[in-house]
């Protein structure tokens, strides 16, 4: 009988312990601090999520190329999110107004951004804008508009010496050179009327932008380097815009007529405008006139394939935006970053 009672007691105890276990506090509760240095048991607790705030200031939303760029940048940064790392992205439109962009930078700093990706409205204002960001201890990733020193010196120590500032872009000299080579490589080297020189018009982007300066300069240099004589009929500012490209080209075709053999556009948006003016003037690309741009917008790639544009140069918005994001993520992780990251242009011809 005693034996039977002992067994019963043992069973009751086992049952009581099991019941206790079931009602024990959930392991999610933080373990009491035992003073030991052992890592806390995070067992089944939800992982801690870190959200980084990234501010992106674009010089102007109303720009074909920068629209592709900013959409890709946002999508790619979002694609890098994990269960524990999130990115809270704010993208603002500088409306091509440096005062507006300065306010936006101030707001980013007040909002406590963890990194700022900056597409400057005015590269001449780079110093002041970047100094504010650096003083606030925020990594600054410059994109698309490379700031140059007063002497045009690329290693602009004043800005880019800083360990948390870098420039991600493409070397605009390369794009200009490719434009010139596309013309130089034609069977008649761009000299349609056979008078021994290539007569061209140049439609430029924003004159403060080094992309515009270099494309203008290096496209012509490539022709000259190939031993070709050139004649500039007109050189006008189109500010990267389709409507301006169309207007300038239409005026020049009316003024110079058949003398215009090549239309150089610093970008494809302006080349699209120029293409419309060329058609309206009854001219035919590939027969009595040549047309080149830069960016390789989808429409322009199609036109090159169709022969309604002589060529363009791929401005790799995917490569550039991904590099900018990768560098941002590295800076957020506290990793060392370089001062320059270059992405190649690619020639696009039929
Ligand atoms: C250039 C591009 C232009 C325009 C400009 C804005 O690289 O070719 O189309 O987007 O950047 O800064």
Report the CATH number that the domain containing residue 304 is assigned in CATH: 3.40.50.2300
Q: What is the pLDDT of residue 150?
A: 52
Residues 121 and 213 in one domain: no
Nearest CA to ligand 1 atom 11: 144
Residue 46 Cα to ligand 1 midpoint, Å, equals 44
Ligand 1 neighbours, Cβ below 6 Å, are 63, 65-66, 144-145, 205, 209, 211, 240, 267, 269, 294-295, 315
Give the pair of three-digit tokens for residue 111. 């909002």
Among 212, 245, 267, residue to substitute to test ligand 1 (most atoms within 8 Å of Cβ): 267
Residue 205 Cα to ligand 1 midpoint, Å, equals 8
Q: What is the pLDDT of residue 124?
A: 84
CB–CB of 117/57 below 8 Å? Answer: yes
Residues 109 and 199 in one domain: no
Q: What is the pLDDT of residue 4?
A: 44
Residues 161 and 133 in one domain: yes
Task: Tokens 């419309």: give the residue.
Answer: 276
Instruction: Give me the phi and psi of 116, to 5 degrees please.
Output: -125, 125
The CA distance from 220 to 230, in Å, is: 8
CB–CB of 345/174 below 8 Å? Answer: yes
Residues 88 and 100 in one domain: yes
Q: What is the pLDDT of residue 66?
A: 98
Residues 177 and 289 in one domain: yes
Q: What is the pLDDT of residue 46?
A: 80
Residue 320 Cα to ligand 1 midpoint, Å, equals 12
Residue 217 Cα to ligand 1 midpoint, Å, equals 16
Residues 112 and 208 in one domain: no
Give the HSE-up count for residue 323: Cα atoms under 13 Å, Cβ half-sphere. Answer: 21
Residues 189 and 301 in one domain: yes
Residue 240 Cα to ligand 1 midpoint, Å, equals 7
Q: What is the pLDDT of residue 23?
A: 35
Among 295, 299, 324, residue to substitute to test ligand 1 (most atoms within 8 Å of Cβ): 295
Count the domains in the chain.
2
Residues 108 and 127 in one domain: yes
* pTM assigned to the model: 0.85
Residues 85 and 138 in one domain: yes
Q: What is the pLDDT of residue 8?
A: 40
Give the pair of three-digit tokens for residue 30. 């933080």
Q: What is the pLDDT of residue 1?
A: 43
CB–CB of 57/116 below 8 Å? Answer: yes
Q: What is the pLDDT of residue 47?
A: 85
Residues of the domain holding 199: 173-314
Q: What is the mean pLDDT of each run of 10 residues along the chain (350 residues)?
A: 42 39 34 40 74 98 97 98 97 97 98 98 89 94 84 55 88 97 98 98 94 97 98 98 98 98 98 98 98 98 98 98 98 93 97
Closest CA to 230 of 184, 293, 292, 269: 184
The CA distance from 314 to 238, in Å, is: 20
CB–CB of 201/273 below 8 Å? Answer: no
Return the ligand 1 atom nearest residue 170 CA: 7
Residues 141 and 255 in one domain: no
Per the domain annotation, does 292 fall within a domain? Answer: yes
* Plot region of 320 (φ>0 → left; ψ -120 to 50 → alpha; else → beta): alpha
Instruction: Please state at what angle helix 64-79 crosses helix 317-332, rounded to 10 degrees.
Output: 40
Other CB atoms within a 10 A radius of the CB of residue 42 amount to 13
Q: What is the pLDDT of residue 149?
A: 60
Q: What is the pLDDT of residue 252?
A: 98
Task: Tokens 């515009």: give the residue.
Answer: 212
Nearest CA to ligand 1 atom 1: 211
Quote the strand ranges of the chain, DSSP E: 50-58, 85-93, 115-118, 140-143, 165-169, 198-204, 230-237, 262-265, 290-292, 312-314, 340-342, 346-348
Return the ligand 1 atom nearest residue 145 CA: 12
Residue 168 Cα to ligand 1 midpoint, Å, equals 13
Q: What is the pLDDT of residue 319?
A: 98
Per the domain annotation, does 24 fall within a domain? Answer: no
Q: What is the pLDDT of residue 350?
A: 94
């Amino acid at each position: 009988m005693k034996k039977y009672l002992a067994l019963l007691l043992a069973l009751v105890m086992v049952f009581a312990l099991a019941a206790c276990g079931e009602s024990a506090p959930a392991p999610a509760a933080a373990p009491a601090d035992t003073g030991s240095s052992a890592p806390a048991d995070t067992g089944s607790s939800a992982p801690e999520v870190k959200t980084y705030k990234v501010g992106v200031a674009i010089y102007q939303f109303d720009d074909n190329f920068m629209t592709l760029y900013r959409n890709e940048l946002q999508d790619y940064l979002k694609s890098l999110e994990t269960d524990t790392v999130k990115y809270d992205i704010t993208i603002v439109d500088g409306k091509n107004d440096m005062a507006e962009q300065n306010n936006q930078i101030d707001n980013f700093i007040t909002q406590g951004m963890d990194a700022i990706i900056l597409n400057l409205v005015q590269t001449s204002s780079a110093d002041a804008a970047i100094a504010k960001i650096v003083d606030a201890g925020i990594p600054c990733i410059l994109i698309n508009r490379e700031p140059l020193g007063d002497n045009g010196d690329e290693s602009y120590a004043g800005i880019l010496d800083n360990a948390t500032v870098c420039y991600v872009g493409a070397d605009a000299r390369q794009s200009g050179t490719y434009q010139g080579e596309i013309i130089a490589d034609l069977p008649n080297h761009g000299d349609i009327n056979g008078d021994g020189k290539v007569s061209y018009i140049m439609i430029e982007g924003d004159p403060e932008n080094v992309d515009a300066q270099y494309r203008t300069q290096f496209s012509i240099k490539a022709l000259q380097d190939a031993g070709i004589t050139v004649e500039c009929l007109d050189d006008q500012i189109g500010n990267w815009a389709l409507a301006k490209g169309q207007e300038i080209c239409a005026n020049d075709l009316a003024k110079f007529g058949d003398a215009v053999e090549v239309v150089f556009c610093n970008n494809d948006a302006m080349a699209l405008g120029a293409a419309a003016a060329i058609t309206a003037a009854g001219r035919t690309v590939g027969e009595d006139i040549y047309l080149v741009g830069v960016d390789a917008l989808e429409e322009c790639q199609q036109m090159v394939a169709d022969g309604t544009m002589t060529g363009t140069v791929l401005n790799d918005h995917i490569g550039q935006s991904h590099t900018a994001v990768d560098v941002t993520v590295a800076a957020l992780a506290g990793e060392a970053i370089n001062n320059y990251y270059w992405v190649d242009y690619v020639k696009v011809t039929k």
